[in-house]
Amino acid sequence: MKRQAKTLFFLGAFVIAAASRTSHANKTPSALPASPAAQTAAFTQALALYDAGDLVRAAEALTANVRRADASGNHAHAIRARAILAETYAMAGHYKLATYVLESGFERARSENSTQYIAELEAAAGNVCMLTRDANRSRAYLDKALVAAESEGDEMLLATIQINLGNLLLARQEFAAAEIAYQSAHERADRLGHTGVASKSLANLARCRLASGDMTGAEEANRRAARILVDSPGSHNTCIVQILVGHTFALLAAHLADRADTFLSDSRLACNAAAAMATRLQDRTALCYALGNLGYAHEQQGDVDTAVSITRRAAFIAQEEQLPDALYRWQWQLGRLFREQTKIDQAEQVLSQAVATLQTIRHDVAIRYGNANLHSSFRQAVGDLYLDLADVRLQQSDYAATPEAATRKRLDARDTIEQLRAAELDDYFQDDCVNIARSHVRPADTVQDGSAVVYIIPLRDRIEFIVTLPSGLKRFTQQVTSIELTRTVRDYRRFLQRRTTREYMRPAQTLHKWLIDPIESAVAAENVRTLVFVPYGALLTVPFSALHDGDAFLIAKYAVAIIPGLSLMDPTPIESAPMRILKCGLSEGVQGFPPLPFVSTELNNIQEIFSDGKVLQDQAFVDSHLTKAFAETPYSIVHIATHGEFGRDARDTFLLTYDDRLDLNRLESLLRPNAYRGQPVELLTLSACQTAAGDDRAALGLAGVAFKAGARSVLATLWYINDEAASILIRDFYQRLSTRSAGSKVEALRQSQLALLQDLRYRHPCYWSPYLMIGNWL
């Protein structure tokens, strides 16, 4: 995109706003409506620019179309032009502008009571919501668009909407439903003889089957798409589908190693065809993606020198055309290739550039040309870029000229992962809570005696540990692949929740060997009593306290805390002032959730220990009472004993109240004002929440809830546990906290967990290990 792109896009939004407010009487001569025939011709010209991928000129032309249609009272045309303009903004990554234009279109449709082209408007809204990962709204819009298109009898539009619906279902991993949508779209397009939509539906069907593990079906659909493309007319969309076909062949090569050469040859053939077509069309955007994917195919083939040459061309075009979404991809690809050539310094330089480029569009990372997967999280989409940069920086530390230089490179590697953690949490919560939290904390670059911060970086071929000890920074390495680590972590979590077996013991011991043994001698030498882990990925879903050395659980030796990142917490001790506790909970079954009978006992026990503070139970546990309680008193501890679920999307995360669901934004609005006044909640306890096993993204939400809510620390559970066991542990924890005999919150938790471990009824780790101290552990 050229330098004027942003100016034109924002000018277009301003003009739409002006057009919506301008009456027919205010028109200047230059703004007089064109004839219907001229409007149609201009709109056809704008669509041609859109189809050619010239988004800047398409936006300019469509904006002019909207103005003319509004001025002439051609309401149907005005609505349709807005739908295409919104798609144009969305394709360029300007989602807020797209949303604004859509709102304008819906407002126009309502004011004129117009139903014509409403299907296109709703389809565009569905796409924008999908790109911003608002899956529920996207599905609602697409379903309405299907109904509207059916009523209008627009078969071509129906096929297009079904492809978009398939994309959404694929993103949600609803593979069978996605396949039905793609096949239906292909049947419609085939009947109409529309080769572009037919090939696009098959190419998407291929990646759906690939994602579901159906390699045979993926190859069959991809080859059918490739055959159709041979006879398709040259266009921007044809180029893009050709690139997608080529990329899918390259991915099939990675999954079916015995046929890799054949698939990679097919991939290069498709990408070369796309590049030739893009060159003929003078379509620099499509050429950029075609070359980048061609370079990827050569990278997979092991032809590194050719891959470097082609990828450099792609990166040059991306830079020249100002395509940051493509630029960071090809910079990343170059970094991998330089690393393969053992040119570590060059790899570090270009990977640093890739991260810097990505930072400029981080909030708009979406699925683009030639990308074979719809990712549901920032980490899945680009997390490996940060890991690759951290990897080469750690390699640089191995041959640094001085110990000081080596330490700087290790800190650079750690800071790279810090960037990734902050970006992940920002992506999960979809707001500025990460930046707010980072601006109010002092990073844990140094630790008090008795503590060690263990930063775990799982790379493809090894695990790296950067450990902050009282004496300084140390680095350790364990030769375990990320695949082995993830598989073992999944087994550990699954077996821990089976309270009638000891199957958890083998993975618990294996993980202790991998994660604790490499650092234990250094930790023991400094008399460390508290281990503060900064986990990543799958490790967010499991408790470290139940790792086992063959003789005892880790909790027998160390208090264990979790922090989401060094720059996201403030390691200062809890204040010695009297503690005021707000105690909330549900013992009754409401809204389809079962009762929690021991919650009454739990709240009564806490009230006996801390009488200063309100109790909001059952019918009293409602939003209006919560608002009043926080307005009246700055609480140091907030205890909530209710059903809570942390979903893979922050919008699906909630705590159950008597008559509603308390989402994270509402929780933040209740707690954070006290933090702004210098009286933050020291501890937020969520004693009955749960995250889905194997869902790293849901666990990310749990790990980040402290700074999202404005609390300094959170005591929460990874899974729902026995109601009575929870009541016993919570009472013991608060008793120790009230006397401050344990010295820190995390040590009080450790002692309470050990006490429950001694109870024969609850000695299995499924009862005591899911409790995590997250954030400030002191």
pLDDT at 136 over 90: no
Gyration radius from the chain CA atoms: 29
Q: Which pLDDT does position 244 carry in this prediction?
A: 96
CA distance between the termini of the chain: 51
Q: Which of 121-130, 403-412, 418-427 has the highest mean pLDDT?
A: 403-412
In whole numbers, what is the pLDDT of the chain averaged over residues?
Answer: 88
pLDDT(117) > 90:
no
pLDDT at 22: 37
Mean pLDDT, residues 118-136 taken together: 85
Tell me the pLDDT band of 2, cut-offs 50, 70 and 90.
very low
pLDDT value, residue 360: 84
d(C-alpha 734, C-alpha 181), whole Å: 54
Name the token pair of 74: 């051609």
Q: What is the largest CA-CA distance in the chain?
A: 88
- The pLDDT tens digits of the residues spanning 596-655 come to 999 999 999 999 999 888 999 999 999 999 999 999 999 999 999 999 998 877 888 899
pLDDT for the residue numbered 495: 96
Among 79-83, 534-538, 558-562, the range scoring the smallest mean pLDDT is 79-83
Query: Looking at residue 33, what is its pLDDT?
Result: 52
Question: Which pLDDT value is given to residue 433?
Answer: 62
Nearby residues of 555 by Cβ (< 8 Å), 6 or more positions away: 545, 546, 750, 753, 754, 757, 769
Q: Give the CB-side neighbour count of residue 71, counting CA atoms within 13 A.
A: 23
Q: Which residue has the tokens 């709703």?
A: 122
Task: Judge whether 752 and 732 are in contact, CB under 8 Å.
Answer: yes
Q: What is the pLDDT of residues 7-57, one digit of tens each?
A: 334 334 433 433 343 333 333 434 445 677 888 888 888 888 887 777 788
Sheet with strand 644-646: strands edge to edge: 661-663, 654-656, 644-646, 689-691
Is residue 203 within 8 A of residue 245, CB to CB? The reply is: yes
pLDDT at 375: 45
Reported as a single tens digit per residue, the pLDDT across 212-253 is 999 999 999 999 999 999 988 888 889 999 999 999 999 999
Whether residue 766 is predicted with pLDDT greater than 80 in this model: the reply is yes
pLDDT of residue 445: 60
The residue-averaged pLDDT of 274-301 equals 95
Mean pLDDT of 736-765: 94
Alpha-carbon span 677 to 351, nearest angstrom: 41
Distances (CA, A) of 194 to 114, 157, 200, 233, 685: 29, 12, 10, 10, 58
The three-state secondary structure class of 656 is strand
> In the predicted model, what is the mean pLDDT of residues 94-103?
85
Question: How do residues 15-24 score in pLDDT, each as one tens digit?
Answer: 343 334 333 3
More confident residue, 406 or 35: 406
Mode of pairing for the β-strands spanning 713-717 and 771-775: antiparallel
Q: Pull the structure tokens for residue 435.
A: 């930046």
Q: What is the pLDDT of residue 692?
A: 66
